[in-house]
Chain A
Amino acid sequence: MNKEKKANKIMTMRQAVAAHVSDGCSLAIEGFTGSISFAAGHEIMRQKRRDLTLIRMTPDLIYDQMIAAGTARKLICSYIGNPGVGSLYAIRRAVEKALPGPLEIEEYSHYGLVGRYAAGASRMPFFPLRSYLGTDMLEANPLIKLIDDPYGSGKVALVPPLNPDVAILHAQRSDRHGNTQLWGLLGMQKEVAFAAQKVIIVVEEIIEESVVRADPNRTLIPGLIVDAVVHEPYGAHPSYVQGYYDRDTDFYLAWDKLSQEHGAVMAWLDEWVYGLENHAAYVRKLGQEHFDRLKPEPLRAPSVDYGRYR
């Protein structure tokens, strides 16, 4: 365990993946549309992990790539699409044609999977929600149960806790202990971090602990539950990081075409994943100008006064 409060947890992505992501483990690389750690996914492919249970509400391009690469045997998710664009063809090939191998799917609606993380985070045996009545999801996934509310309000659905072996979360910034601040869409990052056995935080910037303490409401994930901190600027590309860079929509559109053929995906992986040493090499290959084009104009929030009480 590396969760002592004051440990310096900074390491390279190669070290973090080697230390915490093993064959056959369950892994959640989360973040809704933005702040998706593509850098971690690529390193996991480079290290040739196999038989993973991949967990993400929206598998997005990163799991399309990882499933094409043959890293996974199972996918737990709630929406299989290229956001705003269309299909995820590599996942469809795995489901429809068992290419490159069969893929087991365990699926939920969004609230159901969020609920699984929430139950996992607080170590509860289930999460109750008013979903799934009148749907075929109950048959498709026997882990979703309907019960009678013991207080008499009728049927309530339950989903079991989900505690991934590892969660990998990209954020704007953290200190070297893993005290992590993020803003923009909050998705399910807090719940999955508290649910997971091991947490790897990947950030655009490393900050001092004093910066964290100056704005504690923005700290969603405490270093207390973090095992590794990786400093990886642009590590969420082609997804975005609020305030740092925009989604590379051209890439998402290009993937829609490219991914329709397995061979083209493998050629892309050869060039952009296996052929590169690490994410810094990927950033260099794309070039700084590419990222300059994705930078938004600033729109800063005014700071608030917490007050000093002594």
Chain B
Amino acid sequence: MSGTAYTDSEMMVAVAARRLQGARTVFVGVGLPNIACNLARYTVAPDLELIYESGVYGARPERLPLSIGDPTLVSGAISVVSMADLFGLYLQRGLVEIALLGGAQIDKYGNLNSTVIGSYAKPKTRLPGSGGALEIATHAERIFMIMRLKRRAFVDKLDFRTSPGHLSGGSSRARSGLPGSGPEIVITDKAILNFANAEKEMQLSALYPGRAIQDVQAEVGWPLRLAETIEEVAAPTAEELRLIREVVDPHGMYR
């Protein structure tokens, strides 16, 4: 790879990391979120503390963790606690500012399915299930989704609602008693979508360089709403790419 060329994954990581500017705590999952959060520590959020559902607060991994239970998360962390304490005292207590989440399916209100494709009783595909996702989606102050655009993932109707987003839109989330403010943006491989309208319906808000509205609509299973102004997102900088390739993900595991 040379010059300014970059992959879709690198763009997603750069976008997610920029959005962590100024954040104090972030709840991290494996894969792209993990790279994004670690990148942010070197760029826009040097004071960012990484929280992992395995029970780690303030991780400083010396290698890219291969799972959220990787032993590198423990060594050098600020605190390692039981999962009862992590979920009760950190997450439910309200200490998680931002969380990054993904799933197999997302609907227009940012609800997620990570449980089954097909019916629950007789699934066509059995997916992992909630893990901590349901709790994260419930309690984190702000939620960033990170998912590649695909028609089979951006669906009009979920097969199963594992994690709550804006439920049926409008004020339905707040009325239901859910504490967090719900999904704020969806970082995809072509564009950023947000929920910044009264209906809390997913809308196209910014395009990546060289992408068009129809490229995004083609991968979304409902007529996608457009924000009043659609911005263009800057490509990853040379410094962001250097950090991703040399420091955060030197083995290119998620490129």
Chain A contact residues, CB within 8 Å of chain B = 32-34, 57-58, 77-81, 83-85, 87, 91-92, 95-96, 107-111, 114-115, 117-118, 129-137, 139-140, 154-155, 183-188, 190-191, 240, 242, 246-247, 249, 296, 299
A96-B124, A114-B83 are contacts. A84–B135 as well, Cβ < 8 Å?
A: no
A107 to chain B: closest residue by CB: B129
CB pair A185–B55 under 8 Å, yes or no, is yes
Chain B contacts for A154, CB-based, 8 A? 177
CB pair B131–A110 under 8 Å, yes or no, is yes
Chain B contact residues, CB within 8 Å of chain A = 30, 53-56, 65-71, 74-76, 80-84, 87-88, 91-92, 111, 115, 120, 123-135, 138-139, 160-164, 167, 173, 176-179
CB pair A247–B66 under 8 Å, yes or no, is yes
B65 to chain A: closest residue by CB: A84
CB pair A107–B130 under 8 Å, yes or no, is yes
Bound Cα distance from A13 to B79, whole angstroms: 33
Chain A contacts for B131, CB-based, 8 A? 58, 78-79, 81, 109-110
Bound Cα distance from A236 to B139, whole angstroms: 34
CB pair A155–B177 under 8 Å, yes or no, is yes
Q: How far is the CB of A35 from chain B (nearest CB, A)?
A: 10
Bound Cα distance from A251 to B87, whole angstroms: 30
CB pair B82–A188 under 8 Å, yes or no, is yes
CB pair B130–A129 under 8 Å, yes or no, is no
Q: How far is the CB of B86 from chain A (nearest CB, A)?
A: 9
Bound Cα distance from A33 to B65, whole angstroms: 12
A33-B69, A110-B87, A133-B177 are contacts. A187–B55 as well, Cβ < 8 Å?
A: yes
Chain A contacts for B65, CB-based, 8 A? 84
CB pair A110–B83 under 8 Å, yes or no, is yes
Chain B contacts for A80, CB-based, 8 A? 126-129
A186-B81, A187-B55, A249-B66 are contacts. A109–B133 as well, Cβ < 8 Å?
A: yes
B179 to chain A: closest residue by CB: A130
Chain A contacts for B139, CB-based, 8 A? 130
Bound Cα distance from A59 to B135, whole angstroms: 19
Task: Please tell me which one of the listed residues A91, A118, A155 contacts residue B126 in the complex, with CB atoms under 8 A apart.
Answer: A91
Q: How far is the CB of B215 from chain A (nearest CB, A)?
A: 28
A134-B176, A154-B177, A184-B80 are contacts. A83–B69 as well, Cβ < 8 Å?
A: yes
A83-B68, A136-B160, A185-B55 are contacts. A109–B130 as well, Cβ < 8 Å?
A: yes
Task: Please tell me which one of the listed residues A79, A187, A190 contacts residue B129 in the complex, with CB atoms under 8 A apart.
Answer: A79
- A-B CB contact pairs (8 Å), 30 listed: A33-B54, A77-B129, A79-B131, A92-B126, A96-B123, A96-B126, A109-B132, A110-B53, A111-B87, A111-B91, A114-B83, A115-B84, A117-B84, A130-B139, A132-B134, A133-B164, A133-B176, A133-B177, A133-B178, A134-B176, A134-B178, A135-B162, A136-B162, A137-B134, A184-B80, A185-B54, A185-B55, A185-B74, A187-B83, A249-B66
